[in-house]
Amino acid sequence: MNQRVTFRGWWLPILLIAPQVLVSAVFFYYPAGQAIWQSLFIPDPFGLSSRFVGLGNFEFLFSDKYYRASFLTTAVFSILVSLCSMIPALFLAVMADRLIKGSGVYRTMLIWPYAVAPAIAGVLWLFMFNTRVGIVSWYLGHLGYDWNHVLNGGEAMGLVVIASAWGRISYNFLFFLAALQAVPRSVIEAAAIDGARFWKRFWTIVLPLLSPIAFFLLVVNIVYSFFETFGVIHTITSGGPQQSTTVLVYKVFSDGFVGQDLGSSAAQSVVLLFVVGLLTIIQFKYIEKRVHY
């Protein structure tokens, strides 16, 4: 860190930093340590004692076909959420960027969903697709399509993906629009002089310039779909049907709190710890390289 003017004394800074260090130690490091510790044991059914099993919980975990399926579910879910939120957002941002007047109004309208909690978004979409009263499922029924996300795993996945992606469109839109507005006018003008039409310019010049921000958003959206979509899944499907929408975070919750399988839940927490670590490293590696957007 750079040389700076500093104040003397060491008890004051320790006092200043103490609240945060204390909260981090008690509610972050101790529980994380506990998770790692517990993942090495199997508690007896009465919770009175536990038996050391080493990596037994992990071996069991990865031989469990439901857990492996949950990995795949998470991967599919997070990729779909990222794509379903980034593509419409990019399209809308390109449109908004073309407008001189009125883009502010559209922006104000489009940022609303960001403020809507994932769990509330879940309720809104559940309402539209509810098998009994949902207006969309009713019209689908009239078109001859029998919508039932309670029984059909693919439809359940589709619904949680849309409900999760919906609020993210706002977020991605804001970042894409900022990036588009930062594209140098002169580059666009040069291409225009060469006779490149709007979409041609978009594909050959604008999109490549947007790729850093697109990659950044991809990572951020994947992190979002991993850790912040619990509310959507819990309100719409509760992980079902047949665990078809049970993502990793949902499984930690359902095994730990509903199933009371603490050893397995702790082992799953540790696996997630690695996943977050990996995603954070990717994010930082990228941010280091990012010059501007």
Partner 1 sequence: MAKDIHGMVEKRGSGLWLTHVFMILGVLIIFFPIWLAFVASTVTQPEIVKPPMPLWPGDQLWENYSKALFSGINVPVSTMLVNSFIMAISIAVGKIIISLLSAFAIVYFRFPGRNFFFWMIFLTLMLPVEVRIVPTYEVVASFGMLNSYGGLIFPLIASATATFLFRQFFLTIPDELAEASRVDGASPMRFFLDIVLPMSRTNIAALFVILFIYGWNQYLWPLLITTEPEMNTIVMGIKQMFPSGDDVAEWPVIMATSILAMIPPVIVVVSMQRLFIRGLVDSEK
CA angle 237, 166, 121 (to 5 degrees): 50
Among 60, 62, 71, 114, binds partner 1 (CB under 8 A): 114
- Among positions 72, 115, 143, 291, the unique one binding partner 1 when judged by CB under 8 A: 115
Q: Strands 41-43, 50-52: parallel, antiparallel or unpaired by DSSP?
A: antiparallel
96 class by beta-carbon count within 10 Å (0-12 exposed, 13-18 middle, 19+ buried): buried
Which residues 6+ apart lie within 8 Å of 123 measured at CB? 235
Closest to partner 1 by CB, 69 or 273: 273
Q: What are residue 42's DSSP bridge partners?
A: 51
The correct pick among 51, 87, 112, 204 for binding partner 1 (CB under 8 A) is 112
Could you say which residues in the range 34-73 bind partner 1, by CB under 8 A?
Answer: 34-35, 38
90 binds partner 1 (CB under 8 A): no
Mention every residue, 6+ apart, whose C-beta is less than 8 A from residue 175: 213, 216, 217, 293
Interface pick for partner 1 out of 66, 127, 145, 203 (rule CB under 8 A): 127
Q: Does 85 bind partner 1 (CB under 8 A)?
A: no
69 vs 188, which CB is nearer to partner 1?
188
Count of chain residues binding partner 1 (CB under 8 A)? 99
Q: Do 241 and 160 meet the contact criterion of CB atoms below 8 Å apart?
A: no
DSSP state of 51: E
| Residue 19 vs 154, nearer CB to partner 1 | 19
Rule CB under 8 A: say whether 87 interacts with partner 1.
no
Q: Residue 79 corresponds to which tokens in the numbers above? A: 């990729």
Q: Which of 17, 76, 151, 258 binds partner 1 (CB under 8 A)?
A: 17
209-248 residues near partner 1, rule: CB under 8 A: 216, 220, 227, 230-231, 234-235
Q: Is the dihedral of CA 276, 278, 284, 286 positive or negative?
A: negative
Among the residue ranges 43-51, 62-70, 143-151, 183-191, the one whose residues contact partner 1 (CB under 8 A): 183-191
